Amino acid sequence: MAKNKRSGFMTTFDQLQKGIRKNARSNDINSYLRSLTRDAISYLANNASIVDLTSKVTGKEYFSYSIDGTKSRAVNKLLYRDMEMAEIFLELLQSDEIRGNISSDDITSACYTITMSLACYIDITNKGDRQTPGTFFEYLITYMLTKHFKSDPSTRVRVDIGDDKVSLTMDLILSVDDDKTKYHIAVKNSTRERASEIWAHQRILDKAFGDNTYTGLFIGLCETKLDHKINEVTEICVPDQWRAYQQFLSALHTIYYVDVPRAYKNLNQKPPYIVVKQIGDFYYDVPQE
Amino acid sequence: MAKNKRSGFMTTFDQLQKGIRKNARSNDINSYLRSLTRDAISYLANNASIVDLTSKVTGKEYFSYSIDGTKSRAVNKLLYRDMEMAEIFLELLQSDEIRGNISSDDITSACYTITMSLACYIDITNKGDRQTPGTFFEYLITYMLTKHFKSDPSTRVRVDIGDDKVSLTMDLILSVDDDKTKYHIAVKNSTRERASEIWAHQRILDKAFGDNTYTGLFIGLCETKLDHKINEVTEICVPDQWRAYQQFLSALHTIYYVDVPRAYKNLNQKPPYIVVKQIGDFYYDVPQE
């Protein structure tokens, strides 16, 4: 790809970054997301070849984009769609008309397509950069949630420890309906060994402000791992650890994934009942402000 | 370095790894530790040059080993000693005669020298390998603790969740004195964003087996970060987050560091009173079995 094309892409990404900090639910954010998705999808379509991967996950198939031997992360074939789907979703998102006008499956596919096209673009054009795809997913989710709740995002809470007021950093804190409802929302591309932090933060909020003051959600992208040597895709899940966290640390209300890991799907069927759903369900579960 | 020299080094490392799994407190472990430390120190002395680093940590000075532009991690000048100190410590460790025969400061320096010489050797001869130095530190600590408590290491506990017995992985579980005393010991080179896991695991044990069943310790190496571009060393610490964990999640009994981070030193002076000490103090705090 021409250098100036990539530099244009990163300029838009910088604008998105600054925009999120300034006003996370402005229409500018929508245009940046649209522009980045369009550029990433068209770059991949015109320049990359498709490599089929071996899936070790029952019911899921994956491919990887590849240019000159550099491979992207694994992409779930069933979830990944096209620019048209992304456009429809972003359009409805802008006009606050998601619910009833697009199915949960299509919302989920659109989120997956937007996030993964950019991630694959970065994997290939700036090998080793894991931060840009990670923050991009956070920006998309922050835009979606702040629009939905008509609330500005915060990442800080102040708690009393001894005689001190201590400021703690969380992923996302949203105060809704004149502070009547509060959400603590962890947002991560994947959890790996960081899952305990989500339940630990929720417990801090429960203890510091009283149970049920903050509703705890976690929104994740996926838990896939691609072994680049043998082109094999697995899902890294620790359901027993999660059950222990939900039982002994705190109770998360719902966990939404864009690509729901198989091993977490049925955690709602026995104690301590962890509800794991696809991201599109969020719009049908939680009434809009 | 000649290829066969490095391959000899890694053969000894493999023997250490297998030895720890077979019998973590055998005298073989002591010989492997001694041999690896001797080889690493002499390799660095004969081949590497010393690069002075800019310290942003009050009261600490650092250098880095360097060969052909490849730099090792930052080494604390005051703590890093020589083979003689390492030998004295390992000798006393083997005969279970630490306490009273070597000061807490010298124990701490010996642990630092053993761990950092190997870490720097790996940084330089196998750039990007962070796993080997990490597991080496775990092996050293596992050897020290299992010797001290005359107890074999375990990493698993079984807890009841609903109708299930669920097996959870911890860093190190030691049962002492016919199960009368139990320790949960987290061992990590540095905590970064993984600190909450230590307190979360301790809480799971407190809730599943009753408060005070497991005494919680954390043993860490250091929290330094070297910016390779500008040769500047900082310590990455989050004392407020730690205080929130100790207040709202669980109470760790003591935290021992080899290179105690400045921002954690005085956490014992106000609630919730986190005790952070240098590793050498362990031998003077906890009576030997």
pLDDT of B2: 55
- Say how far apart CA B105 and CA B268 lie, in whole Å: 20
**Residues 6 or more apart in contact with residue B47 via CB below 8 angstroms:** B1, B67
pLDDT of A22: 96
pLDDT digits (tens, 9 = 90+) for B58-97: 999 999 999 999 999 999 999 999 999 999 999 999 999 9
pLDDT of B153: 95
Residue with tokens 């409805």: A92
pLDDT-based confidence at residue B3 (cuts at 50, 70, 90): low
Q: Which of B249, B271, B272 sits opposite A200 (nearest CB)?
A: B249
Residue with tokens 């080094």: B9
pLDDT digits (tens, 9 = 90+) for A52-89: 999 999 999 999 999 999 999 999 999 999 999 999 99
pLDDT of A3: 61
Q: In this complex, do B243 and A166 lie within 8 Å of one another by their Cβ atoms?
A: yes
pLDDT of A19: 97
pLDDT of A178: 86
Cβ under 8 Å to B: A residues 154-173: 159, 161-164, 166-169
pLDDT of B208: 97
pLDDT of B217: 98
Reported as half-sphere exposure (CB side, CA atoms, 13 A), residue B189 has a value of: 15
Cis? peptide before B272, omega within 30° of 0: yes
pLDDT of A6: 83
pLDDT digits (tens, 9 = 90+) for B110-149: 999 999 999 999 999 999 899 999 999 999 999 999 999 9
Q: Does B208 touch chain A (CB under 8 A)?
A: yes
Q: Using an 8 Å CB-CB cutoff, list chain B residues near A161.
A: 240, 243-244, 247, 271-272
| Between B245 and B286, residue with greater pLDDT | B245
pLDDT digits (tens, 9 = 90+) for A103-154: 999 999 999 999 999 999 999 999 989 999 999 999 999 999 999 999 999 9
ipTM of the complex: 0.91
**Of the candidate ranges A175-179, B12-16, B34-38, B268-272, the one whose mean pLDDT is the lowest:** A175-179
Q: Which amino acid is at B104?
A: S
pLDDT of A210: 97
Q: Which of B164, B200, B244 sits opposite A196 (nearest CB)?
A: B200
- Say how far apart CA A273 and CA B203 lie, in whole Å: 20
User: B197: nearest CA in chain A?
Assistant: A196
pLDDT digits (tens, 9 = 90+) for B177-203: 888 899 999 999 999 888 999 999 999
Q: In this complex, do A200 and B199 lie within 8 Å of one another by their Cβ atoms?
A: yes
**Mean pLDDT along residues A250-263:** 98
Interior angle at CA A88, CA A218 and CA A142, nearest 5: 30
Indicate if the pLDDT at residue B278 is higher than 90. yes
Q: Which amino acid is at A158?
A: R
The CA distances from residue A216 to A159, A179, A253, B11, B220, in Å, are: 17, 15, 5, 49, 31
pLDDT-based confidence at residue B5 (cuts at 50, 70, 90): confident
pLDDT of A89: 98
Indicate if the pLDDT at residue A1 is higher than 60. no
**CB-based contact B157:B205 (threshold 8 Å):** yes
